[in-house]
A and B are shown apart, each in its own frame.
Chain A
Amino acid sequence: MTGKGMMRRLALCGAVAALCLTGFTGQSKADGDAAGQVAMRRLTQDQYKQIINDIFGPTVTLGGRFEPDLRDSGLLAVGAAQVSVTAAGLEQYDLMARSIATQVVDEKHRPLLVGCKPASETAPDDACSKAFLSKVGKLLYRRPLTQHELDAEVAAANAATVKTGSFYNGLGLSLAGMLEAPEFLFRQEAVEPDPDHAGAYRLDAYSKASRLSFFLWNAAPDPELLAAAQNGDLNSSSGLKKQVDRLMASPRLEAGVRAFFGDMLAFDGFSTLAKDTTLYPKFTSQVLRDAQEQTMRTIVDHLLVQKADYRDLFTTNKTFLTPLLASIYKVQASFPEGVQDPWVAFEYPADVPQAGILTEASFVGLHSHPGRSSATIRGKALRTVLLCQKVPDPPGNVNFNLVQDTNNPNYKTARQRLEAHRTQPSCAGCHKIMDPVGLAMENFDTIGGFRTTENGAPIDASGELDGAKFSDVAGLGKAVHDNPAATACIVNRVYEFGAGHAPNKSETEWVRGTLAKDFASGGYKFTDLLKDVATSDVFYRASAPQTGALDTPKAKLASDVTGNQEVQK
């Protein structure tokens, strides 16, 4: 970049600081073309684990590692549409697949999980293989297997049985093959013409079932939902509503809500979070787990149990604590005795600044250095995670020599240390967006412990968020509560999480229009938002498919176990 170009860029940033915040991150950057296009999404770690648990039960262990998920447009759920599987990743999937399959067919599990018995344990048995593989295949692939697929699976099982002389071994290897196949690892969404809207397309029934189930439960469709797909219920609005109501009434809704907020709040960062234990000996691995769980419980209680206003998450003084968390926050709480790691509901008194999830260790601790707090990181996180705003990158070749006061390098508080961020024009433009917000949280050290001074000097937690001024972190919570970007952000994220992409033009019109308005007029109830998305037309609409897929005759579906012919489309 030329000197002039750089100066121009800096001037722009400095002069129009507020405009540096682009509203939404807009289009998914996948291929530059259609957002709203259905894309196959790789299962996330949690989804994979949940599906195995649902189908095979909690006693089957995984035995492998997952390659990292990718975050795009603020969510791993959107990044899932960008990634494939690397060689190292597939090596691990292969290991896990074989480990799971071995357990499923072992003597302990096979009576329940396989069900049928072969005529001989050392030879192929088509009937039993067919029964098992079609039953399991439907749950794994989230749709019935085609005849061709089922035949291929049975043939594979037979070949493996012949080579190794064991029916169960062969069956297990075929199952392992399915567990590492793209049909399992990727959520494919099939598209068909929409009979209710000429020229438009919609997801087919099984794809609807998948989208709905992953949205509300973060899991693959259960047999009842698959049946509703099979018999056409999901294509009628009353049939869809019935399933939505069922899924939302279920205790499994909590898993879906946890998955959503875990993604939005970037809790995957906890797996590599480290704090210096010499400086902060209170921070043990148990505290790490407790911190995440605290915020999850607060959210679940507030949004699902109390069905309270979403915005109040930033101001509520109700939370849940364990003995270790109480010691981090330096509050007195009483806990039942004799219980391992007990949780109690806790309410902060009205006159303390602790209120809302911004003051919980999962926010202030996750967005901090190992050895000290960071106003800039926290301010940036608040903007990007909770307000869906983008903070521009720093300019190139910033000369830090200009900003270093070599006479007095020892500032006592973060506010003093970040002085240069505010006063140097090339820095201020963007740091104005982050620092004043983050400095409000300086009363919380890097592990979430409350403090009133830093290095002996009192902490000044006053600041400003998009024009709203505050004098402490409780005021910041209120400013976030009142900021329209907070509610616009959650609406957008919820939609993205379910759809797997940032909304396209027509989707955005609806998301920012009807959906957001209904959210507001209904009192910002999160369950209403979920329901509105899940029962909408838009959610299941698809852009025209790119390939000649619709010219290909739909594959004949395999007969199911009872011999009932499945619906041929």
Chain B
Amino acid sequence: MSYSDLPGAKLRVGAFARGLALGVASVAAVGFGAHSAQAETRGYAVSWFYMAAESQPDDCPEGTNMLSEPMARKIMTDLGKTPAEIEAAFKDYPSNMYGQVVMRGKVNGKPANIYTNPTSEPDPMVKTAKGHVAYGFNLDGKDGPNDFVDPQTGEHGVDDMAYRALGCFITQRASGGQRPTWPAIEWDTTRDQMPAWIIEISGIERDANGKVKDGDVKVGFYRATTPVTRNAAGDPQADMSFTVDTNPRMQNVVHATLHNGTLTTDPFEFYMIQDPFAVAEYHFKQTRVRLTLNDDGTLKGVLGGYQPWLPVYESFAVGGPVNELNLSVDAAGIYYALKKLADAYPDASGQNQYISASYWIEAVPGFISHPNAEKTSMVVGPVKLAAAR
């Protein structure tokens, strides 16, 4: 399966053309007191991007998934280790365990690497979230029994099956404005070296009092050529200048409607490279984004869409036993859960390749400039998606 075969390809090309047309240096003026009647363009650098959650007590009626220690014990027991052997191994937990849990799969009776071969053990049947509160959008237009209600907008029929798959792992749960542990670590650890994600909103108009007016705007999601810089508090420094990376695959431009200070985009296809430590690339179809323009110049909002589920699995698997035992996750279990709960874009065999997911976006103000059309960065070839199983 190649990139251009995907249904969204046509939309991508259109977006690309629009991206180029935005052309040369856009001056992101921070108004020196003047409230101009003309349309404004504002730039931002994304400070946080992580799976959204508003975890509920009734998400996991049978309790959350096993913590790593009991999970490790169970794995050892299933592998046939005696209690004495297990206690000895636990003396230097978890480093002594790493070797054991890797090869717990079985292919043709022989031990197999569970991460490259998650189906080499039977489905561990991890607990999945049963609740009905999650941020996001109604992507398929339907309101079914597996859908959620968005606590911010009240929207019904919200599609976020990724939360169902992951929401009973404690390091994926969060509520009340907290960030879930693992998604936050993933982002925070990579942002020092990862070129920044930047957002440009153009066509903003203000009334006589300087308040943002309702209307149409254009939103661009780009990658910059430089990472964010950390300030004294460890957060991204605001008001830095960024240049757009001209890689045509990361020119995500879409129309949005601004109402009461929050914009909501039309559905679009979203593609951004992140970092192989987390998720190498984020690719969403039928993406919807809503962003609130805060008074202090920051942005906060939600992105919802269908993303390939296999890379989500891979973001857990790539860390192998270190992830499993330090984050209390069962990678193989996640594989099965994501596969079962994937809810869009079936392949020839009817297996859904994409899963609905919602993410928080937070951004600080920044300046964005588009380089001359002549100067383009190296175009990266299409990324081969791993074959779904």
Contacts and interface: CB of A to CB of B under 8 A. Distances in A.
A and B touch in the complex (CB under 8 A): yes
A323 B241 contact: yes
Given A323-B241, A327-B237, A334-B243, A282 B32 contact: no
B46 to A, nearest CB: 16
B32 A284 contact: no
Given A334-B369, A353-B32, A327 B239 contact: yes
Contact of B229 (A324, A332, A351, A352): A324
B66 interface: no
A283 interface: yes
Contacts of A450: 30, 32
Interface string B29-52: 010110000000000000000000
B225 interface: yes
Contacts of A61: none
Nearest to B366: A327
28 contacts: A280-B232, A281-B233, A282-B231, A282-B238, A282-B239, A284-B231, A323-B229, A323-B240, A323-B241, A324-B237, A326-B239, A326-B241, A326-B367, A327-B237, A327-B239, A327-B240, A327-B241, A331-B30, A331-B367, A332-B27, A332-B28, A333-B241, A334-B243, A335-B241, A352-B32, A353-B32, A450-B32, A452-B33
A327 B297 CA distance: 14
Interface of A: 277-278, 280-284, 323-324, 326-328, 330-335, 337, 351-353, 450, 452
A280 B238 CA distance: 11
- The 4 lowest CB-CB distance pairs between A and B, nearest first, are A332-B367, A277-B232, A281-B233, A327-B239
B226 interface: yes
A17 B3 CA distance: 78
A102 B235 CA distance: 45
B221 to A, nearest CB: 19
Contact of B235 (A281, A323, A330, A333): A281
A330 B239 CA distance: 5
B241 A281 contact: no
Interface in B12-31: 27-28, 30
A334 B242 CA distance: 8
* A interface: dominant SS: loop
Interface of B: 27-28, 30, 32-33, 225-226, 229, 231-233, 235, 237-241, 243, 367, 369
Contacts of A353: 32
B93 to A, nearest CB: 38
Contacts of A283: 232
A319 to B, nearest CB: 15
Nearest to A329: B239
A326 B240 contact: yes
Contacts of A282: 231-232, 237-239
A337 B240 contact: no
B232 A330 contact: no
B233 A278 contact: yes
B32 A281 contact: no
Contacts of A323: 229, 240-241
B34 to A, nearest CB: 8
A284 B241 contact: no
B142 to A, nearest CB: 45
Nearest to A352: B32
B152 to A, nearest CB: 26
A443 to B, nearest CB: 9
A472 B208 CA distance: 22
